[in-house]
Amino acid sequence: MDTLSKAIPFIAIIPAAGIGSRMQAKQAKQYLQLGTQTILERTLTVFCEHPDICAVYVALHPNDPSFDTLPIATHPKIKRVAGGAERVNSVLHCLHDITTTESVVLVHDAARPCLQRQDIDRLLTHYRTHSAPAILAKPASDTIKVSQKEQSLIQSTLDRRTIWQAQTPQIAELNQLKQSISAGLARGLTLTDEASALEAAGYAVTLIEGPSYNIKVTHPEDLALAEFYLTQQGLIPE
């Protein structure tokens, strides 16, 4: 690994401006407790503690009442940005706010609190070797059905050997991702993750198999599963 590779400024982006309506909770899901910390604290900590991540940009709702109460809010790596109407807008706001143009960004869901340092390392190693975008993802283990429009009837069955479930982080060069998202939004595309923007712009994105524990807390039952994984990792006392 050469000196230039080692000097790449890696920056994390955490879009955390959502309200988490599917969790049926009184507060945004990123502020629900997992042991002694919130989901968002656990998500931010793995990036703040990683020696190769030089900054962590957090997109927050303009009226967020909770972030300032978190101990990690004062961490020197944390940079706050006003979030947008959708996840993709929040990511774009962060990309516009980053002034180091040679940066490489890792975008990670605020509600994936079980990520470990070695998972980040695999993406950094990939980028240092190939200088190309990549995402963590899991090969589908279930049979995948496509439904008919507005009906609960099966239209077709997909070949699961070619189906992957996208995870985060997703890594790409800053300007590459910024231009891809901007172009996708201008075309009216639905961009549910960074890879979809990069794909639409014609870039090849590598799939790197991610761990089963890298779940996204979306529904109430996911909270217990995340707690189980964090307990197994020794981050929540048994």
Which three-class secondary structure state does DSSP give residue 68? helix
Record: fold of 3-232: Spore Coat Polysaccharide Biosynthesis Protein SpsA; Chain A (3.90.550)
Q: Give the Cα separation of 43 and 34 in Å (integer).
A: 11
β-sheet bridge partners, residue 104: 10, 173
Q: What is the pLDDT of residue 3?
A: 39
Q: Give the Cα separation of 116 and 139 in Å (integer).
A: 19
Q: Give the Cα separation of 9 and 34 in Å (integer).
A: 31
The tokens for 137 are 């993802």
Element (H, E) at 137: strand 134-139
Is 42 in contact with 235 (CB distance < 8 Å)? yes
Residue (of 210, 184, 187) closest to 195 by Cα position: 184
Distance of CA 104 to CAs 3, 25, 90, Å? 16, 35, 17
Q: What is the pLDDT of residue 2?
A: 42
How many residues in the chain? 238
**211 DSSP assignment:** P
Q: What is the pLDDT of residue 25?
A: 59
Per-residue pLDDT of the chain (238 residues; tens, 9 = 90+): 343 445 899 999 999 998 755 555 568 899 999 999 999 999 999 999 999 999 999 999 999 999 999 999 999 999 999 999 999 999 999 999 999 888 999 999 999 999 999 999 999 999 999 999 999 999 999 999 999 887 789 999 999 999 999 999 999 999 999 999 999 999 999 999 999 999 999 999 999 999 999 999 999 999 999 999 999 999 999 8
- Per-position DSSP letters for 150-168, written without gaps between them: TSSSEEEEE-GGG-EEEEE
Write down the number of H helices and E strands in the chain.
7, 11
The tokens for 31 are 């502020």
- Per-position DSSP letters for 75-103, written without gaps between them: -TTEEEEE--SSHHHHHHHHHHH---TT-
